C-alpha cells in the first residue's frame, strides 16, 4: 500500500512511519517541521515539507503519488496552549483537517486513520471508569473540542461519501522505539514520563507533582500509559482492517490499567537508579483524577496483543531516547 502520513516527522507519526516501512509499505510524509524532526523519519520514506492546510500542496502530492490511504497526525496537542490560543487549535486541528478531507474526497481516497484523543471524554465521573467508546464525549478544553469536531466531520463524510475511517482515541502515549530510531523529540514536551526521565538525567533540576490530594490510592492522578510502539501496531491493524473493507470505527487506545504519578516517578527512579528531586504542587487545571481506557473493543475488533505494556519497559525506552537526545 502507499500511505500518506501527515505529521510523520512527529512523535507518534514517525513511529508509525518506521513500522510501515519495515513491513514494506510505501510511505509519503507531509510535515511542516514545526514540531517534527526530519532525522526521525525513516530513510526509505518520501518526505515532503509543507502544510497540510495548503490545498495546492495536497493536490500536487496526490498528483505525484498514487495514495491508497491517509494517516493524519499533524496537529497541535498542548492543552494549556489550546486554552490561551483556541483559534490556533480550531485552525491546526479542525480547519486544516477539513482541507485534507476535502482533498481526500476529491481524489477518491476512501481510507483514513485519525489520531484522536481521550481528551474528547473531558472529566469522566468515577462511575464511568474505565471509559468505553460509548462514554459521553464532553471535552473541557479547545484541544479536545477541536479533535472531537474532526471526529464529527469524519462521521458525516463517511455517510455522504465512499469513505471509511478509524479514529483512535489515545490515552497517555509514552516510551520510544525500542531500537532507538525515533522518540519524543519536542523540547517543550510536558508529558510526565518524558519530564521525569529528563529529571533523572539532570536535564531539568526537579519534577513537580501536580496535585496530591486526589481521591486515588496515593493522592496523585491515575493515567493509562501506552507504549508508542504498541500504539503504532494498532494503526497498522486499523489500516489493514480498512483495506479489508471493514466499516468505520472509533476505538480507545490504552491498556485498560492505570498508574499514579507517584508510581510513574518510582518507576523512573528504579529504572534510572537516580533519586531525583520532586516537589508537590497544586492541582493542574483540567486534570481528571483518573483516566483509564476500556480497551476491550480494540482487542476484540483487531485481535490486538500488546507487547510493551510493562511500565518499567516503557520508561526504559523513554530514558534511552532522552540519553540519545543529550548527545
Ligand atoms: N504531571 C505531573 N508533573 C508533570 C507533568 C505531568 O504531575 O511535570 C501529571 C499530570 O498532572 C497528570 C499526569 O502527570 O496527572 C499525566 O500528565 P501528562 O501531561 O503526561 O498527560 P495528560 O494526562 O495531561 O494528557
In the chain, domain spans: 2-174+226-253, 192-223+256-326
100: cell is 485534507
Judge whether 2-174+226-253 and 192-223+256-326 match in fold: no
**Ligand 1 atom closest to Cα of 209?**
7
Backbone torsions φ then ψ of 124, nearest 5 degrees: -60, 145
- The answer, yes or no, to whether any atom of ligand 1 lies below 6 A from the CB of 269, is no
Write the residue with the smallest CA distance to atom 4 of ligand 1: 192
CA of 192 to the centre of ligand 1 (A): 5
**With a 6 A CB cut-off, is 191 part of the ligand 1 pocket?**
yes
CA-nearest residue, atom 1 of ligand 1: 192
What's 2-174+226-253's CATH class?
alpha beta
Q: Ligand 1: which residue has its CA nearest to atom 12?
A: 221
DSSP string, 195-260: HHHHHHTTSSS-EEEE-S-SSSSSSS-EE-EEEHHHHHHHHHHHHHHHHTTPPPEEEEES-S--EE
- Residues with Cβ within 8 Å of 248's Cβ and at least 6 positions away in sequence, in order, are 154, 155, 158, 164, 165, 166
Lateral strand order in the sheet of 46-49: 46-49, 26-31, 2-6, 69-72, 111-117, 164-170, 249-253
Q: Which CATH number fits the domain 192-223+256-326, given the four candidates 3.40.50.2300, 3.90.1280.10, 3.90.25.10, 3.30.70.20?
A: 3.90.25.10
Q: Whose CA is nearest to atom 21 of ligand 1?
A: 191
Per-residue pLDDT tens for 241-268?
999 999 999 999 999 999 999 999 999 9
Distance CA 150, CA 156 (A): 10
Predicted model pTM: 0.97
User: In angstroms, what is the span from residue 32 Cα to ligand 1's centroid?
Assistant: 27
Residue 273: Cβ within 10 Å count: 7
Given the CA of residue 261, which atom of ligand 1 is nearest to it? 14
Low-confidence ranges of the chain (pLDDT < 50): none
Ligand 1 near 207 CB (within 6 A): yes
**Is the separation of the CB atoms in 45 and 18 below 8 Å?**
no
Per DSSP (E only), the strands in the chain are 2-6, 26-31, 46-49, 69-72, 111-117, 164-170, 172-174, 207-210, 222-223, 225-227, 249-253, 259-260, 278-281, 290-291
Q: Is 239 in the pocket of ligand 1 (CB under 6 A)?
A: no
The pLDDT assigned to 5 comes to: 98
Residue count of the chain? 327
* CB 41, CB 5: distance < 8 Å: no
Atom number in ligand 1 closest to CA 283: 11
pLDDT of 221 reads 97
What value of ipTM does the predicted structure carry?
A: 0.98
**How remote is the C-alpha of 35 from its chain's centroid?**
14
First to last CA, the chain: 36
Amino acid at each position: 500500500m502507499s500511505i500518506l502520513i501527515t505529521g510523520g516527522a512527529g512523535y507518534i507519526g514517525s513511529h508509525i512511519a518506521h513500522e510501515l516501512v519495515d513491513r514494506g509499505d510505501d510511505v509519503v510524509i507531509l510535515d511542516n517541521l514545526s514540531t517534527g524532526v526530519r532525522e526521525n523519519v525513516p530513510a526509505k520514506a518520501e518526505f515532503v515539507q509543507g502544510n497540510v492546510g495548503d490545498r495546492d500542496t495536497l493536490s500536487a502530492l496526490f498528483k505525484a503519488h498514487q495514495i491508497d490511504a491517509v494517516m493524519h497526525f499533524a496537529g497541535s496537542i498542548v492543552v494549556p496552549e489550546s486554552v490561551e490560543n483556541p483559534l490556533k487549535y480550531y485552525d491546526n486541528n479542525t480547519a486544516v483537517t477539513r482541507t485534507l478531507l476535502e482533498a481526500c474526497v476529491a481524489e477518491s481516497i476512501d481510507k483514513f486513520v485519525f489520531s484522536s484523543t481521550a481528551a474528547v471524554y473531558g472529566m469522566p465521573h468515577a462511575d464511568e471508569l474505565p471509559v468505553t467508546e460509548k462514554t459521553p464525549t464532553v471535552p473541557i478544553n479547545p484541544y479536545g473540542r477541536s479533535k472531537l469536531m474532526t471526529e464529527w466531520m469524519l462521521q458525516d463524510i463517511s455517510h455522504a461519501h465512499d469513505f471509511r475511517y478509524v479514529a483512535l482515541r489515545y490515552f497517555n502515549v509514552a516510551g520510544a522505539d525500542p531500537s532507538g530510531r525515533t522518540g519524543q523529540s519536542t523540547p517543550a514536551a510536558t508529558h510526565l514520563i518524558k519530564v521525569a526521565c529528563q529529571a533523572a538525567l539532570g536535564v531539568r533540576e526537579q519534577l513537580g507533582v501536580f496535585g496530591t490530594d486526589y481521591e486515588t490510592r496515593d493522592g496523585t492522578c491515575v493515567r493509562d500509559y501506552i507504549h508508542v510502539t504498541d500504539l503504532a501496531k494498532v494503526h497498522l491493524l486499523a489500516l489493514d482492517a480498512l483495506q479489508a473493507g471493514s466499516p468505520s470505527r472509533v476505538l480507545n487506545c490504552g491498556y485498560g490499567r492505570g498508574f499514579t504519578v507517584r508510581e510513574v516517578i518510582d518507576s523512573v527512579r528504579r529504572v534510572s537508579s537516580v533519586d531525583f528531586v520532586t516537589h508537590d504542587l497544586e492541582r493542574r487545571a483540567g486534570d481528571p483524577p483518573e483516566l483509564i481506557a476500556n480497551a476491550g473493543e480494540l482487542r476484540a475488533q483487531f485481535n490486538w496483543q500488546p507487547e510493551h505494556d510493562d511500565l518499567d519497559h516503557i520508561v526504559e525506552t523513554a530514558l534511552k531516547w532522552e540519553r540519545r537526545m543529550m548527545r
